[in-house]
């Protein structure tokens, strides 16, 4: 069982690495074999790129969040107070 968890850790690492670079053949085969047997990592392999895309889009989107003006003024006064 411990080996299985370790294999999942290695598989998720390989899934992340293959998003940035082509894996060597031996690692591609290991990952393929693990994904063939492990539904959790198969799901991770599908969801991980979608999460990365969503995070990238969120980081690129301009922020529209604004503090209420009275709260911003109160916060600025507190920051300006000597400690
Ligand atoms: Zn796994």
Q: How far is the CA of 54 from the centre of ligand 1 (A)?
A: 23
Question: Is 72 contained in some domain?
Answer: no
Task: Tell me if the pTM is above 0.75.
Answer: no
69 within a domain of the structure (yes/no): no
Residue range(s) defining the domain that contains residue 23: 1-62
Say if 24 falls within a structural domain: yes
Quote the ligand 1 centre to 36 CA distance (angstroms): 9
- The Cα 22–Cα 26 span in angstroms is 11
Q: What is the number of domains present in the chain? A: 1
CA 49 and chain centroid, separation: 8
pLDDT top residue among 45 and 73 = 45
Q: Which residues surround ligand 1, an ion (CB under 5 A)?
A: 8, 11, 38, 40-41
Centre of ligand 1 from the C-alpha of residue 32, in Å: 11
- Determine contact, residues 13/41, Cβ cutoff 8 Å: no
For residue 38, how far is its CA from the centre of ligand 1 (angstroms)?
5
Tens digit of pLDDT for each residue in 31-53? 999 999 999 999 999 999 888 88
């Amino acid at each position: 069982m411990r080996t299985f968890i370790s294999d999942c850790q290695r598989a998720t690492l390989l899934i992340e690495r293959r998003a940035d670079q082509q894996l060597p053949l031996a690692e591609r085969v290991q990952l393929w074999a693990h994904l063939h047997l492990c539904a959790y990592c198969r799901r991770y392999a599908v969801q991980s790129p979608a999460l990365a895309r969503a995070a990238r889009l969120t980081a690129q989107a301009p922020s529209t969040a604004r503090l209420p003006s009275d709260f911003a003024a109160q916060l600025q006064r507190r920051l300006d107070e000597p400690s």
